[in-house]
Amino acid sequence: RYRCRVPRWDRPINPSIRKDEKKVGDVFDIEDLMKTLEPGQKISLCRCWRSKKWPYCDGLHKDHNICTGDNVGPVNIIRKKQS
């Protein structure tokens, strides 16, 4: 269960992900990524920094939003269906 925390500006936005790194940044090769997706399939990338499956969204943004009044959600990358 997600533990609600009162948001404060003097705390990091990232509470736990790869804290041993100076900066958390990721690169995706979009061509390689598209090869892994079936037409119509999508992947969702986390933007709330609460996912346990980082960098992918696992839905924890919903609890985060309820707890904090925030409105964050994932970036969805969708492979178009062939027409």
Q: Are 45 and 57 in contact (CB under 8 A)?
A: yes
**In DSSP terms, which residues pair with 77 in a beta bridge?**
43
Quote the Cα angle for 67-70-74, to 5°. 110
Strand partners, 75: 45
- Is-catalytic flag, 35? no
Site for ligand FES in 50-79 (CB under 6 A): 50-51, 57-61, 72-74
Size of the site for ligand FES (CB under 6 A): 13
> Which of 17, 43, 47, 77: binder of ligand FES (CB under 6 A)?
47
Residues contributing to the site for ligand FES (CB under 6 A) = 46-48, 50-51, 57-61, 72-74
